[in-house]
Amino acid sequence: MKITKTALDGVLLLEPKRFGDVRGFFAESWNRQTLLAQGIDIDFVQDNHSMSEAAGTLRGLHFQTPPHAQAKLVRCARGALFDVAVDIRAGSPTFGQWVGYDLSFENGLQLLIPEGFLHGFVTRQPDTEIAYKCTAHYAPDCDRAVRFDDPGIGIDWGMTCEPVLSDKDAAAPPLRAIETPFVYGA
Ligand SMILES: Cc1cn([C@H]2C[C@H](O)[C@@H](COP(=O)(O)OP(=O)(O)O[C@H]3O[C@H](C)C(=O)[C@H](O)[C@H]3O)O2)c(=O)[nH]c1=O
């Protein structure tokens, strides 16, 4: 498992080893001991899987508030997507800053996103499927959204057309308008 730090403290890019043979490949998409051996002590309670039919479908920017805040391990099970994390930890030197990575079935890359970050992605191919593990269960009352095109964050989604959005995401407020209950280093 190759692990690469990103510009946001705590957000990591993971590359599981693929064992190829005449049939295709095998990879461990998550192994608690493998990550623990590299100092990452994390366990998950829920797996999510969504499929987006159109290229240019954008889901996010989302997070859950404590006590149901979620860390996520994100991968692309089919197709390709651009995955984004935004630091919303009060006091963080990178508060409001973002990182984005191309995750695809082909490259097998994963993004590990701790609590205290917004998460969103835009698909690059039709029928793209995302699979991600969460450290806390879904809690609708704690589910929050921030608008994907918040000029205060300034994410370059690499889009050439208007995204396909849920009504919730289309109506999401800017980051400055919501309470961000996370503290850097807590
Ligand atoms: C997230 C979630 C949703 N749902 C139900 C609630 C709705 O009836 C339906 C669609 O939910 P939503 O529109 O919030 O789904 P996404 O827009 O894909 O949201 C997710 O996308 C971003 C990128 C994330 O990182 C979060 O996991 C999550 O916010 O699934 C559940 O039953 N359990 C869940 O954990």
Q: What is the tens place of the pLDDT at every residue in 68-124?
A: 999 999 999 999 999 999 999 999 999 999 999 999 999 999 999 999 999 999 999
The model's pLDDT over 41-54, given as tens digits with 9 standing for 90+, comes to 999 999 999 999 99
User: DSSP label at 109?
Assistant: -
User: Per-residue pLDDT for 160 more than 90?
Assistant: no
ipTM of the complex, rounded to two decimals? 0.98
Residue matched to tokens 């609708």 = 140
Residue matched to tokens 């191919």 = 125
138 is annotated as an active-site residue? no
Q: What's the confidence (pLDDT) of residue 115?
A: 98
Q: What's the confidence (pLDDT) of residue 186?
A: 83
Chain-centroid distance of CA 26 in Å reads: 23
Q: What's the confidence (pLDDT) of residue 139?
A: 98
Pocket test for ligand 1, best of 62, 83, 118, 141 (most atoms within 8 A of CB): 62
Q: What is the pTM of this model?
A: 0.97
Q: What's the confidence (pLDDT) of residue 49?
A: 98
CB within 8 Å of 175: residues ≥ 6 apart: 86, 88, 96, 118, 146, 150, 152, 153
Q: Rg of the chain's alpha carbons, rounded to an integer?
A: 16
User: Per-residue pLDDT for 31 more than 90?
Assistant: yes
Query: Which amino acid would we find at residue 35?
Result: L
132 is annotated as an active-site residue? yes
Q: What's the confidence (pLDDT) of residue 180?
A: 86
Count of beta carbons in the 10 Å neighbourhood of residue 93: 10
CA angle (118 as vertex; 81, 125 as ends), nearest 5: 10
**Which protein residues touch ligand 1 with a CB less than 6 Å away?**
48, 50, 59-60, 62, 119-121, 138, 166, 168
User: Per-residue pLDDT for 65 more than 90?
Assistant: yes
